[in-house]
């Protein structure tokens, strides 16, 4: 019994230390997931001496934590974001994973002197991006980029794990069976279709059942988030038991449930956020404890080389090939290439060769661990600077805002919001609250009063309003502080501004000719851009037309385009990004390396 208390004390101390260390990481911009891994390493057998080598338990804990993270990732992904990014994201999550596996696997076979199948196995282990790392660094890290690019990265990271897991399991079986060559096995292809098909179908069914249960059964508000999380784990485990992809199912269930109107959504979201933090901390601590840094020395140099090869060559090559059919700028492709963070999933998959009793199984785990460390150190620390260098940071539309969404019981047809009036917000200078919003209560200096008797709002007032669902973003401008305006904002939104009500025939005459077809010239610019953007335009969305780019500068209160910026792009635009983030640049880089090597050899 005493041993149990000691273990509990040590584990909770590690979790608390990791949680409090995150405050330091936030201050210095360090990737938190790297911090959690390092804490696990320092507490392990080569550090404080905590001995943990149970691979089966580590894989189970990691899988459950990943399921929690994927459900929350889906739950917080809007259906609109998923729709506009689904095609490129799923292409990268399937074809991109295969391309990364092949390119990395070929290099791994040479660098570590492995057979081809063994190299491909290592490639599949590190082929997927990490949902926890990508979601955290984009959402919490304050990287404000175009919604389409953000959604592409988030949906890719949430959907590529099932593909990587399937490839890894299939290759583990092939290597353990003693095969020394690759061949198209129709049974493997059939198994893939079955797993993904069942994962998608059961995810949709599971998400619908979660919404139905929450709506139809009266559940205590304190229990509601717990029941939703438990139901998501039922979807995950049941799908896995019958042979489907549980990871895909729980992600799809999260998307379905998160985009339906059901009681307690705000409370569920807050609970999920806390559980995701806990899952990330536990998963990275456990995987850090499982590793033995002294074993890294045997493969350190080739593993570091492979990590750099993945960051600079394999990932960019796969992204470029997958995004050829889609409308992304060169800078956006480079950023997507750079945000290919590897994390716990790769380390987790590195356990499978050990569980499969493969010869030299620790090589896969240790190599994957080093690759993940390099990815988090190199990419995790530089995502925001890279976005700035590529000119992708969107100027803030509004400044700081202090808003709380409050739950209403039952299937209420209104939302209750609470705003704290911050300095410089428009409501302090006389801006009117829209008629569709119903202010009810003001709390001032600790005293509550009806809105009608509060008089003019003051700074630090807490105002409670009832609004129709879906209109909360329209109020944010009224209660936000002034957005900081930078001199280079005009460069991002274009040099000229034109009205979205102008006919395309006039735009074609001014910036063409030949930009639009004859059938399109009768449309207005706003209607044309809405159609190109999938029916719903977002702030800072862009539409490319030959040598010009049309940019959504502003939206009205109904979500319609209110202002359009025009950027005139040169034929060969100036590019400040590192040369290895484009295929042409990578080729030049490799040629220059070869030239310098031969020159040094001749000397």
Encode pLDDT of 122-139 as tens digits. Answer: 999 999 998 777 877 776
Burial label for 469, CB within 10 Å (0-12, 13-18, 19+), is: exposed
Q: Are 121 and 364 in contact (CB under 8 A)?
A: yes
Q: Does residue 513 have a cis peptide bond before it, meaning omega lies within 30 degrees of 0?
A: yes
Which structure tokens are listed for 483? Answer: 């957005």
Can you say whether residue 471 is alpha, beta or left, with left for phi > 0 and alpha for psi between -120 and 50 degrees?
A: alpha
- Give the pLDDT band (50/70/90) at residue 71: very high
Helix (H) / strand (E) containing 467 = strand 462-467
Answer for the pair 61, 283: CB distance below 8 angstroms, yes or no: yes
What does the pLDDT look like over 279-289, one tens digit per residue?
888 888 899 99
Spatial separation of the C-alpha atoms in residues 26 and 185, rounded to whole Å:
48
Alpha carbon distance 118, 321 (integer Å): 25
Mean pLDDT for all residues in the chain:
82
CA distance to 18, 82, 153, 314, 488, per residue, from 90 (Å)? 34, 10, 10, 18, 34
Nearest to 134 by CA among 125, 143, 123, 122: 143
Q: Which domains does the chain have, with CATH numbers?
A: 2-389 (1.20.1530.20), 402-479 (3.30.70.1450), 489-568 (3.30.465.10)
Among residues 484, 494, 439, 483, the alpha carbon closest in space to that of 463 is found at 439
d(CA 512, CA 545): 9
Model confidence at 602, pLDDT cuts 50, 70, 90, reads: very low
CA 384 to chain CA centroid, nearest Å? 14
- pLDDT above 90 (res 235): yes
Closest by alpha carbon to 127, among 299, 379, 361, 314? 314
Q: pTM for the complete prediction?
A: 0.80
Which residue in the block uniquely carries the two structure tokens 């095969």?
A: 179
Q: Give the tens place of pLDDT for each residue, 176-191.
A: 887 665 555 667 778 8
Q: Which residues does residue 544 pair with via DSSP β-bridges, in sequence order? A: 549
Give the DSSP H or E segment for 550.
strand 548-555
Rounded to whole angstroms, how far apart are CA atoms 33 and 280? 8
CA angle at 232 for the pair 200 and 58, rounded to the nearest 5°: 100
């Amino acid at each position: 019994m005493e041993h149990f208390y000691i273990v509990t004390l040590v584990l909770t101390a590690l979790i608390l230390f990791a949680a409090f260390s995150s405050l330091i990481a936030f201050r210095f911009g360090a990737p938190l997931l790297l911090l959690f891994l390092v804490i696990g390493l320092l507490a392990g057998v080569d550090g404080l001496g905590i001995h943990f080598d149970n691979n089966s338990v580590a894989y189970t804990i990691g899988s459950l934590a990943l399921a929690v993270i994927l459900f929350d990732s889906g739950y917080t992904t809007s259906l609109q974001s998923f729709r506009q990014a689904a095609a490129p994201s799923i292409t990268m999550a399937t074809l991109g994973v295969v391309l990364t596996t092949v390119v990395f696997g070929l290099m791994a076979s040479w660098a570590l002197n492995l057979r081809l199948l063994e190299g491909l196995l290592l490639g599949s282990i590190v082929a997927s991006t990490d949902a926890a790392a990508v979601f955290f660094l984009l959402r919490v890290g304050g990287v404000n980029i175009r919604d389409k690019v953000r959604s592409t990265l988030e949906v890719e990271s949430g959907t590529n794990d099932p593909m990587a897991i399937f490839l890894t399991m299939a290759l583990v079986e092939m290597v353990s069976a003693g095969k020394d060559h690759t061949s198209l096995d129709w049974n493997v292809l059939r198994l893939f279709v079955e797993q993904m098909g069942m994962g998608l179908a059961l995810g949709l069914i599971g998400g619908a059942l979660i919404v139905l249960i929450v709506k139809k059964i009266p559940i205590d508000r304190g229990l509601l988030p717990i029941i939703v999380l438990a139901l998501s784990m039922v979807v995950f485990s049941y799908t896995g038991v019958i042979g489907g992809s549980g990871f895909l199912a729980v992600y799809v269930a999260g998307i379905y449930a998160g985009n339906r109107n059901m009681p307690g959504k705000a409370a569920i979201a807050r609970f999920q956020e806390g559980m995701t933090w806990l899952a990330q901390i536990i998963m990275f601590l456990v995987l850090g404890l499982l590793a033995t840094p002294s074993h890294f020395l045997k493969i350190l140099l080739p593993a570091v080389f492979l990590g750099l090869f993945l960051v600079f060559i394999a990932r960019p090559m796969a992204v470029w090939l997958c995004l050829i059919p889609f409308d992304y700028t060169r800078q956006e492709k480079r950023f997507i290439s750079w945000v290919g963070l590897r994390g716990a999933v790769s380390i987790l998959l590195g356990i499978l060769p050990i569980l499969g009793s493969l010869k030299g199984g620790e090589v896969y785990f240790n190599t994957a661990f080093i690759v993940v460390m390099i990815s988090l150190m190199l990419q995790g620390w530089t995502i925001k600077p890279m976005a700035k260098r590529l000119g992708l940071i969107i100027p803030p539309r509004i400044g700081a805002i202090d808003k709380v969404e409050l739950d209403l019981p039952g299937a209420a047809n209104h939302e209750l919001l609470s705003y704290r009036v911050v300095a410089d917000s428009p409501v302090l200078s006389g801006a009117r609250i829209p008629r569709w919003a119903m202010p009810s209560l003001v709390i001032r200096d600790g005293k509550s009063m009806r809105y009608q008797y509060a008089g003019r709002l003051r700074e630090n007032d807490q105002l409670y309003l009832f609004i129709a669902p879906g209109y909360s973003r329209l109020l944010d401008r009224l209660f936000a502080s002034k957005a900081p305006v930078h001199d280079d904002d005009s460069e991002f939104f274009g040099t000229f501004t034109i009205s979205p009500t102008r006919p395309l025939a006039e735009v074609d005459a001014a910036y063409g000719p030949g930009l639009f077809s004859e059938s399109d010239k009768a449309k207005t610019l706003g209607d044309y851009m809405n159609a190109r953007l999938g029916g719903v335009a977002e702030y800072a969305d862009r539409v490319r037309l030959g040598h010009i780019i049309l940019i959504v500068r502003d939206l009205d209160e109904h979500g319609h385009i209110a202002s359009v910026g025009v950027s005139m792009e040169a034929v060969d635009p100036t590019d400040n990004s590192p040369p290895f983030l484009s295929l042409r640049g990578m080729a030049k880089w490799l040629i220059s390396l070869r030239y310098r090597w031969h020159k040094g050899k001749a000397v």
